[in-house]
Structure 1
Amino acid sequence: MPKVTVPDHGTFEVEEGKKLVLALEDNGINILHRCGGKAKCTTCRVEVENGDFGELTDIEQEAFSKKGIQEGLRLSCQVRVYEDVTVQPVMTEENSDMDAGPRPAE
């Protein structure tokens, strides 16, 4: 099984193909997903420090261009874990003073 590492939170195994946002949430990372995983709000973005999720999806490109978001980030609601990765969530309940939002569908 692939492993996800989040600095200052540890490393955990994830079922191959699981959405990153759900893998993070299921392992105690309070990442935001205010739109429920529909790639509209971009609050679930992560900085990818190590590993690869492939090319940006069309929906990620569109969301990032609308919001003016920098390169090197991914939407955790749009990527699935197939290999070991290290990611840093940008927005969490702890650093934003917001609740996570509705749980995205698998």
Structure 2
Amino acid sequence: MPYVTVFDRGTFEVETGRKLVLALEENGINILHRCGGRAKCTTCRVEVLAGDFFDVTNKEKTAFANKGIDDQLYEDCLRLSCQIIVNGDITVNPIMTVENTGKNAGPRPAD
């Protein structure tokens, strides 16, 4: 099984094929997911630090464009954790969490 490392928070093992947003939440990382994992709000953004990731999805590209986020950012290092399927060891840094925003995480994304 792959390992997910969260910057300044630790490393945990994740079932292959698990959505990153769920893996983070299930391991005590209170990442925001205000739209319930539908790639609409971009609150589940993570900075990609290392690892094997599938290409940026069209849903991600649309969500980032709708929020005015520069395409160079998401091509280089920014992803939506609700759209990432863990398929290998990765290292990420969650951008928006309950702790650093004071906001409610939002509805749990579907499996």
TM-score range, shorter chain: over 0.9
Task: Give aligned pairs, total.
Answer: 106
Q: 1:97, 1:30 → 2: CA distance?
A: 11
Deviations 1:2-60 (A, max 9, x none): 00000111000000000000000000000000010011100001000001312110000
Partner of 1:88: 93
Cα RMSD for the two superposed structures: 0.8
Q: 1:49, 1:69 → 2: CA distance?
A: 18
Structure with greater helix share of residues: 2
TM-score (ref. length: structure 1): 0.97
Structure 2 letter corresponding to 1:103? R
Q: 2:7, 2:57 → 1: CA distance?
A: 25
Query: Aligned with 1:56: secondary structure?
Result: coil
1:69, distance to aligned residue in structure 2 (A)? 1.9
Q: 1:58, 1:7 → 2: CA distance?
A: 27
**Percentage of identical aligned residues:** 68
Q: Which runs of 4+ in 1 moved over 3 A?
A: none
Of the candidates 90, 97, 109, which is equivalent to residue 104 of structure 1? 109
Give unpaired runs (5+ residues) of structure 2.
none
Partner of 1:78: 83
TM-score (ref. length: structure 2): 0.93
